[in-house]
Amino acid sequence: MNSQRTAVLKATHINKYFTEPVRFQVLKDISFEVQKGEFLSIIGKSGCGKSTLLYILSTMDTSYEGTLEVNGQPLTGRSQDQLAAFRNEHLGFVFQFHFLLPEFSVLQNVMLPGLKLGKFPAREVEERAYQKLRLVDMHEHALKPSSKLSGGQQQRVAIARALINEPTIIMGDEPTGNLDKANSEMVFDIFREISRTNGQTIITVTHDPDFAAGGDRIMEMSDGKIISHGYEAKI
């Protein structure tokens, strides 16, 4: 584990309510920090609010109470477009169901967030996309339409896409939830690798105990509350 302790994500007193069909508190006073380079898994039973929490951390869900800070920047209360730009640059996502754009080739899928960022010319974005695809061992399929890939392959492409802008944090919503054992291991290895070598932070919500156990820390949730931050276990 990294010796330097800088918090890249800080959630303070987060409360969240669902109003449909009846008012119901999903998250109850959640406060926690994630350190740079940390590989954090959030576990808990279905309905405990862990996915809801992840979507708040991802900045896509903005209807909550409390404050969220990523990379030292307060994100609570920013406009949707500002948040989108922030996500583009600082956050990467991997979902349970791959979610690639089916009309586009593998390479284009990976390139799109990079082109959107517009920090590098298209040629360089392409170069980087190839590099990321090589990392997930998908570079040979770069020009295939993404709809022609298997589930495991699509998930690896999705990881490459999440990495294209060198985000500070990569978030996963059950990234192995839909994969067989071999593919799950492959995805895990990639995560482990980027966390260690690039110092990128990883936060995943998972049901997979093996996947969680391989990370740096396991945070357990139950009934909208954090019941274990996972530090105790490591000590």
Partner 1 sequence: MNLKIAYNIAQTHLLTKKKQTMVAMLGVTFGIAMFIVMISFMQGVNQFLEDSALDASPHVRIYKQITSDRPSIIQTINPDGFNVVHHQKPKQELARIKNGLVIARHIEQQPEVLGVSPQVSTQVFFNVGSVPVPGTLAGVDVQREEKLYRLSKRMKSGTIEDLQSNSNGVILGRLLARKLNLKVGDKVNVTSSTGGTALLRVVGVFSFGIQTVDDARGYVNQAKVQELIQKDANYITDLHIKMKDPMQAIPFGQQLARQYDYKVEDWATANQAILAGEKIRGVMTFVVSFTLLVVAGFGIYNIMNMNVMNKIKDIAILKATGFGGKDVIAIFMIQSIIIGFLGAVLGVMIGFSLSYLLSITPFNAGDFLAIDTFPVKFDLKYYVMGVLFGVITTLLAGYFPSKRAAKIDPVEILRG
From the CB of residue 226, how many other CB atoms can be counted at a distance below 10 Å?
Answer: 23
State the minimum distance, in angstroms, from the CB of residue 213 to partner 1.
25
In the structure encoding, which two tokens stand for residue 39, read together?
Answer: 């590989």
Q: DSSP secondary-structure letter at 168? A: S
Q: How many residues bind partner 1 (CB under 8 A)?
A: 34
Q: Which of 29, 33, 89, 185 binds partner 1 (CB under 8 A)?
A: 89
Q: DSSP secondary-structure letter at 150? A: -
From the CB of residue 85, how many other CB atoms can be counted at a distance below 10 Å?
Answer: 14
Site for partner 1 contains 154 (CB under 8 A): no
Site for partner 1 contains 100 (CB under 8 A): yes
Site for partner 1 contains 99 (CB under 8 A): yes
Site for partner 1 contains 1 (CB under 8 A): no
Residue type, 163: L
* Burial annotation 176-205 (CB, 10 A radius, 16+ → b, else e): bbbbeeebbebbbebbeebbeeeebbbbbb
State the minimum distance, in angstroms, from the CB of residue 231 to partner 1.
29
State the minimum distance, in angstroms, from the CB of residue 101 to partner 1.
5
In the structure encoding, which two tokens stand for residue 90, read together?
Answer: 């600082």
Cis peptide before 74 (omega within 30 of 0): no
Q: Which of 101, 213, 227, 233 binds partner 1 (CB under 8 A)?
A: 101
Site for partner 1 contains 120 (CB under 8 A): no
Q: Which of 81, 143, 231, 235 binds partner 1 (CB under 8 A)?
A: 81
Quick note: the x/- pattern for partner 1 over 45-64, rule CB under 8 A, is ------x---x--x-xx---
Nearest-10 Cα torsion for 189, 194, 199, 202: -70
Site for partner 1 contains 27 (CB under 8 A): no
Contact (Cβ atoms closer than 8 angstroms) between residue 226 and residue 219: yes
47 vs 213, beta carbon nearer partner 1: 47
**Residue 110 exposure: Cα atoms within 13 Å on the Cβ side:** 34
Q: Which of 95, 199, 207, 222 binds partner 1 (CB under 8 A)?
A: 95
Binding site for partner 1 (CB under 8 A): 51, 55, 58, 60-61, 80-81, 84-89, 91, 93, 95-97, 99-104, 108, 112-113, 115-118, 161, 165, 173
